[in-house]
Amino acid sequence: MLLLIILWILQDLLTVLFGGVMQLPELFLMGIVYKLIAEEREDKLWAIWTAFFGGLLWDLRWVGVPGFFTLGYVAVVALILWAWRVIPVHGRTLWVVFLLLESSQFIPNLVPVLILGGSTGGSFFISQQMYALPALLICLYLYSKQAEQQE
C-alpha cells in the first residue's frame, strides 16, 4: 500500500512540475494493476477501493468534478479483475500482462480525448502513451522476473 501512496504522490508532483508541458502516464493506476496481477492474494477487493479513493482524490485535486477519473479507475480495475480471472493460468503470457497494463493507460486517458476532441486531446493522448511505455516495460520486466522465480 505504501508503494501506491508513493506512486500517487509522485504522479501528483510530476503533474505539478510538468503541467501543461506534457501529459503524464497514470503511474498510480499502473501500480494498482501491477500489484493486482503480480500478487496471488485471493482478496482482490482492495484494488477496487484503492482505485476508488485514489481516483476520488485525483478528481478533487485536479479535475474538481468528483467521479470523473474515479469511474475510469474503478472501471479499469474491474475490467482487469474480470480478465485476469477468465484467462487460464497457462494463458497469462507477457503479451497478456502487457495488454492489461496498457489498458490501465489507455482507457482513463481516452476520456479527455473524447471530451476535448481528437484535435486537442489526440496529441496529448499519444504523447502520454509514449511516456507510459518505459514504466510499462519496467512493470513487465519485474513481472517476468517474479514469474521465473515462481517456476
List the Cα angle 19/13/103 in 5-degree steps: 80
Q: Is residue 23 scored above 80 in pLDDT?
A: no
**What distance in Å separates the CA atoms of residue 27 and residue 33, rounded to the nearest whole number?**
10
Task: Let me know: does 105 contact 31? Beta carbons within 8 Å.
Answer: no
**What distance in Å separates the CA atoms of residue 51 and residue 44, rounded to the nearest whole number?**
12
Q: How many domains in the chain?
A: 1
Mean pLDDT confidence for 52-58: 92
Q: Is residue 34 scored above 80 in pLDDT?
A: yes
pLDDT of residue 19: 73
Mean pLDDT confidence for 36-49: 88
Domain that holds residue 101: 2-18+27-150
Task: Work out the burial of residue 41: count CB atoms within 10 Å of its CB; fewer than 13 is exposed, 13-18 middle, 19 or more buried.
Answer: exposed
